[in-house]
Amino acid sequence: MTQPTEKEIDKRAYEIWERSGKPEGREEKFWQLPEQELRNENKSSPLRTPDSV
């Protein structure tokens, strides 16, 4: 499984932060959430095979 890159996490975190109204002081939340989302997307990818699990 491919780990999300820092650039992908940054992009997703910014998108979530914007959707949430751009709150200040909760940077850690907006870093952890997209990292987990991206990892979950990789797990459910239709391109995964038993050999790549």
DSSP string, 1-53: -PPPPHHHHHHHHHHHHHHTT--SS-HHHHHHHHHHHHHHHHHT-TT--GGG-
Q: Which of 3-7, 19-23, 26-30, 49-53 has the lowest mean pLDDT?
A: 49-53
Q: What is the mean pLDDT of the chain?
A: 77
Q: Tokens 């870093």 belong to which residue?
A: 31
Q: 39 near 2, Cβ under 8 Å?
A: no
Indicate the pTM of the whole model: 0.61
